[in-house]
Amino acid sequence: MQSFEKVFLITISIPFFVVLLFFVWAALYGPESYYRFEPYIDTEMSVGYSPEKFESIEIGMDTLTVKKILGEPLYKNYDSTRLEASIKYEYTNDGKLLKQEVALYMSNDYAWHRGGLVFNDLGIVTQKKGEWVHD
């Protein structure tokens, strides 16, 4: 009877641990997850940008002040389709890992941190977009 119980426990426990291991792997390295050990692992940043510097930017600042703090953005998008024209500066982008050679288990597309600003036609910050993106 004891050998039957041991075999039964082993038969039940092995699939349980395999499934548990999968969920632990998915939580740490799964697609579009927030990578706790290095949160900005998949965030491409412009030269001079840092999350701490971005936090110091406030609504109402002008483009010259922003550029002194953060430098040039990765991308500038002009939007004149609205009633008010606006300029969007993107200081971060997705896909940093795609441009690097990394270990296979790290080659997923992780969440990235958006750091973007919207300026009105006078060059004043009207919106600040700092958020985690899981796309």
Contacts of 74 (CB under 8 A, 6+ apart): 44, 45, 46, 90, 91, 92, 93
Give domain limits for the chain.
1-30, 33-133
In this prediction, residue 34 carries a pLDDT of 77
Residue 108's pLDDT band (cuts 50, 70, 90): low
Q: Give the three-state DSSP class for 88.
A: strand
**pTM for the predicted model, two decimal places:** 0.72
> What's the whole-number mean pLDDT along residues 73-80?
90
Residue type at position 82:
R
Q: How far apart are CA 106 and CA 29, in angstroms?
A: 7
Higher pLDDT, 27 or 45: 45
Higher pLDDT, 61 or 16: 61
In this prediction, residue 25 carries a pLDDT of 64
Task: Provide the CATH topology of domain 33-133.
Answer: Beta-lactamase Inhibitory Protein; Chain:B, domain 1 (3.30.1450)
Residue 58's pLDDT band (cuts 50, 70, 90): very high
